Amino acid sequence: MTTGTNQTPLPVIERLIRVTRKGPVHVLLGLVGLLWLLPSIGLLVTSFRTRSASSQSGWWTAAWEGGWTLDNYDTILSSSGEGLPPPGFAKALWNTVIITVPSTILPVIVASLAAYGLVWMNFRFRNTIYLGIVAMLVIPLQVTWVPVLKLFNTLDLTGSFNGLILAHTAYGLPFAVFLLVRGFSEVPRSLIEAARIDGASHIQTFRKIVLPLAMPVIISLTIFQFVWVWNDLMNALIFVQDVNKFPLTISIRNLLGQYGNEWHLLAAGAFVSMVVPLIVFLSLQRFYVRGLTAGAVKG
């Protein structure tokens, strides 16, 4: 990966260390990589096999046992008729995008503001509030469904995208605040004080100092919130009640009959669905810049 802001070539020491870091380390890493990758490869192979082939032989035998088919993907991708029941693949994909993008951006924004307030500003009860927010991480979401649904009904938000987006924003907050408070606390106090002395407002301090320095944490949070919402099934089931608004997770799940026989379709569905989050993950990687605090003190 890039070495980020450091313009100087790597010091000799680093290069020396790197040379000695061979052998056992690489073997170990290779083993981990393989272990992690194997189940995913198994799933990939299974997604190209027929149901009967998968139930008679393991995926690693697929090369000679056969049973290859494109039907699973065909079923997932086609929009009508034999394919996904309403709303159809294209609409479901679009629905997922509509739900996921705001549900990622909003909690990050709200949590950033809240975390800044909690860490760098004074207000009463802030320790208690922080403790409370962290405690909310523990609350299983299911116990919140009924009261929230009742509230949505009075606000006429039931079954709308806005309701689900609001719910996701709220549900993502505890972890987001938790993470960002940690990230924002890492900013050296000296920097903040220097800025305040220079007359910067909180907004300016937030934008120019805290945000850039905490960028890696914010990126991590964004990635995970995105993946979480993209793959969310249960909350969508509860809050989205209109068939045409179903996201991909629900419409793929509904390919299963009542008895769940068609899990081979789930395998194909997983790979189709994962393209977007994977792209998000890979493209946001470049915002992970190494050693940000290095050189910051000079600023």
Partner 1 sequence: MKRENNMKRLMRWLVPLLALSLIAAACGDDDDSDTSAPSEQSDSDSSDSGGSDGDDSSDGESGDSSIGGSIEIMSNWGGPEQVGFEEVLAAFTKATGIEATYVSERDQETVLPTRIAGGSPPDVSIFSRPGQVQQFVDDGVLVSYADLGVDMSLLENHYSQSVLDLGTFNGELYGLLTAVNSKSTFWYKPASFSAQGFEEPSTVDELDAIIEGYVDAGLTPLAIGALDGWTLTDWFENLYVRVAGPENYNKLFVTHEIEWTDPTVVETMEIFADLLTPVDDVVLGGAAGANSTAFIDAFDQVLNDDAEIYYEGGFMGNFARENFPDLVGGEDYTFFPFPEIDPAFGAPVVGGGSFAIAFNNTPQVKAFIEFLASPEANEVWATTSEGARINPNSGVGADLFADPLTGLEAAAILAADVFVFDGSDLAPSAVGGDAMFTGLQMFLENPDDINGVLEFIEAAADAAY
Partner 2 sequence: MVAVEVGKGQGLSISRLLKSRGEIWAGPGLLLLATFFVWPLLRTIWVSFHKGSIIKPTREFVGINNYTDLLTNDPSFLKTELPPWSALFNSGLWVVFFTVGVIGVGLLVAVLGDDVKYEKALKAAVFLPIVISFTAASVVFRLVFAADSRIGSVNALWTTFGFDSVAWLGQAGTANTTLIVAGIWVWTSLSMTLLSSAYRSVPTELRDAARVDGATAAQTFWRVSFPVMRPTVVVVAVTMIINALKAVDLVLVMTEGGPSASSRIVGFTVFWEIFNNNRAGYGSSAAVLLLILVLPLMWYQMRNAGLDGETS
Q: How far is the CB of 255 from partner 1 (least distance, A)?
A: 5
Contacts 24+ apart (CB under 8 A), 171-174: 171/141, 171/144, 171/235, 172/103, 172/107, 172/111, 172/225, 172/228, 172/229, 173/107, 173/110, 173/111, 173/114, 173/133, 173/136, 174/133, 174/134, 174/136, 174/137
Does position 194 interact with partner 1 (CB under 8 A)? The reply is no
Does position 114 interact with partner 2 (CB under 8 A)? The reply is yes
* CA torsion, ordered 65, 69, 75, 77, to nearest 10 deg: 120
Options 62, 84, 111, 209; binder of partner 2; rule CB under 8 A = 111
Does position 159 interact with partner 2 (CB under 8 A)? The reply is no
Q: How far is the CB of 74 from partner 2 (least distance, A)?
A: 18
Footprint (CB under 8 A) of partner 2, residues 268-287: 269-271, 273-274, 277-278, 281-282, 285
Q: How far is the CB of 227 from partner 2 (least distance, A)?
A: 6
Options 7, 82, 189, 258; binder of partner 2; rule CB under 8 A = 189
CA nearest to 168, candidates 261, 82, 234: 234
Of 19-27, 97-105, 176-184, 224-232: span binding partner 1 (CB under 8 A): 97-105
Q: Give the x/- contact pattern for partner 1 in 1-20, rule: CB under 8 A.
A: ---xx---------------
Does position 200 interact with partner 1 (CB under 8 A)? The reply is no
* CA torsion, ordered 140, 145, 151, 155, to nearest 10 deg: 120
For residues 115 and 107, give the distance between their C-alpha atoms in angstroms, rounded to a whole number. Answer: 11
Site of tokens 């907050």:
173
Does position 98 interact with partner 1 (CB under 8 A)? The reply is yes
Q: Give the x/- contact pattern for partner 2 in 206-225, rule: CB under 8 A.
A: ----------xx-xx--xx-
* CA torsion, ordered 76, 79, 83, 89, to nearest 10 deg: 30
Binding site for partner 1 (CB under 8 A): 4-5, 51-52, 55-56, 85, 95, 97-99, 101-102, 105-106, 145-146, 148-150, 152-153, 156, 158-162, 165, 211-212, 215, 234, 237-238, 241-245, 253-262, 287, 289, 292, 299
